[in-house]
Structure 1
Amino acid sequence: MDIANKLAKIGISGVLYKLYAAAIELGVAPISTVAARAGVVRTSAYNALGRLEQEGLVTLETRDGQRCVIAHDPTVLLERVEGRRQMLNELMPQLRSMYNRALGKPQIRFYEGEQGILTALWDTLTITSEPKVLRGILSMDELMQTPGMAEMDRFIEGRVKKNIWLNVIRSEQKDTEPTWPSTTSQLRELRYAPPDMLLSMTTFIYDHRVCFISSRKENYGLIIESEEFATLQTVMFEGIWKLSRRTSGA
């Protein structure tokens, strides 16, 4: 496959390809020169070069009274693809949610291993409902093992940056050390479940999804996307929340 076909795979084809190839060959040149090198009518070149500029591949600038094309280093193509990939990764949970709701069927995603647990954990920060409230039941001794305190601290930082408030219930007898208290600075309210209620698995409820994070022994993350199931889990959470003991802020 030649360069033209390869660039066409990422949307640079036809006139766009001809003008981009001419631009990087010339480096800096008047629009008329770039159009002539590309074999494109000058009037057609203006619109196409404008699109290339929007993509960050060239810059259009007036020099000595002439409108010139300045080609950027081709490595910008990698940044362009990577930027789109990151954007799609961010959008994918919402797009999948819309798709799954249209199907009317619950979706179950199973993620195995430590990386799977991280994938499931960070998915909880894709919450889109307003206000952004994440409901969580945290099994502290297990979270300190997997994914570990360092990763949990990064997760908390990411949650705060996204302005997501966390209502969290924990079992006081499973808290191995005083950490993650109620605090407005970290957007968190902690309550302790009744002593006879042992909460042994980390669970998050957000949008129409419920995320489960296992112990290191079973080593998996599980996301169930179902409006009915999420509603049931929310009702159960709120029932336990009302029974749980408030804690003072840090």
Structure 2
Amino acid sequence: MEIKQKLEEIGLTGKKADVYLAILQLGKATVVQIAKKAQIKRPTTYDILEDLIAKNLISQSFSGKKRYFVAEPPKALKSLVKQQEQKIDQLMPELTSLFNINPHKPKIRYFEGREGIVQIYEEILKMETKEQFYIGSIQEMVDVLGRDYMESWVKRRIKAKIISHAIRIKSKEMPIGEWSAGKEYLRELKFFPANIKEDITNLIIFDNKVAIVSGLAEGYGVIIESKELATTLKYIWRVVWGVSKSK
């Protein structure tokens, strides 16, 4: 197996391997010398050199106005492999959560920040059952996603003919309007029997999925796809609905 092919296998793909080999052979060299040796255009060589510096495979120095590059000892390549292993380790929790060897195993997906929470709400609009069971605070979702987005989302929910069964917190309630109960809003609405002042996560049950969405302070969301969990939480939701207040 050629040296270049081996370098490509550990991450120095394409012309990066050519530039790295050229520097190894030249020793201390300018970008013009390296580009000529590697038979690569100078602008491309500059980009590759910056990448190799970032990978700690080469270093640079200056003599007057000239910029020189020199390769680090080849054992520095081991650090490149370690960097790849670290990236894999960072990905492992998320990849493990997606791995579904058991067809009945719940699927768990994690979302972060406003963009992630928007993805959750957009997925809710694509539900098949056209019915959601909600517990939480509209005010907190407005704080996270913005009033314009939430107003637009409610209109799209109504257009999609999705019925909302909502249990909300009276002390964190929004003004009347699209947040109200009524047939025109396709919403049943009750309020928690207790006056909750603490921040709580929002819970949305739809299809065979459960979405958990935090407020602005923590800014995360989770969707768990599990028929058993969705069924269990619907029963709990109905118990809370039974003791909640209409006004």
- TM category (shorter chain) comes to 0.5 to 0.7
Which ranges of structure 2 fall in alignment gaps of 5 or more residues?
A: 1-99
Q: Deviations over 1:190-242 (max 9, x none)?
A: 11110256682211101110011111121112100011111111111111111
Q: Which amino acid aligns with 2:119?
A: T
Could you say which residue in structure 2 is the equivalent of 1:52?
A: none
Equivalent residue number for residue 188 of structure 2: 189
| Matched residue, 1:207 | 207
What residue number does 1:128 align with? 128
TM-score (norm: length of structure 1): 0.54
**Match for residue 156 of structure 1?**
154
* Conserved? CA contact 2:109–2:222, under 8 Å: yes
C-alpha change, 1:140 and 1:106, in structure 2 (3 Å) is same
After superposition, residues 11-30 of structure 1 pair within 5 angstroms as none
The CA distance in 1 between the partners of 2:166 and 2:245, in whole Å, is: 11
> What pairs with 1:207-226 in structure 2 (closer than 5 Å)?
207-226=207-226
Aligned residue identity for 1:195? A
Distance 1:203 1:241 in 2: 14
Q: Which residues of 2 match residues 226-241 of structure 1 at below 5 A?
A: 226-241=226-241
Q: How does 1:157-172 map to 2 (within 5 A)?
A: 157-172=155-170
Distance 2:126 2:117 in 1: 15
Structure 1 CA distance for aligned equivalents of residues 154 and 107 of structure 2: 26
Q: Which has the larger radius of gyration?
A: 2
> Counterparts in 2 of 1:55-74, with a 5 A limit?
none
Deviation at 1:165, TM superposition (A): 0.6
8 Å Cα contact 2:169-2:195 kept in structure 1: no
Aligned partners of 1:235 and 1:219: how far apart in 2? 27
Task: Tell me the distance in 2 between the aligned counterparts of 1:176 and 1:185.
Answer: 17
Q: Which amino acid aligns with 1:148?
A: G
- Seq. identity, %: 30
- Classify the secondary structure of the residue corresponding to 1:168: strand
Aligned positions, number: 147
Q: State whether residues 121 and 213 of structure 1, in contact with CA within 8 Å, keep that contact through their aligned partners in structure 2.
A: no
| TM-score, normalising length: structure 2 | 0.55
- 1:184 CA displacement: 1.0
Which residue of structure 1 lines up, in the alignment, with residue 93 of structure 2? none
Residue number in structure 1 paired with 2:172: 174
SS of residue paired to 1:218: coil
1:181 Cα deviation from its structure 2 partner: 1.1
- Partner of 2:204: helix, strand, or coil? strand
| Equivalence for 1:15 | none
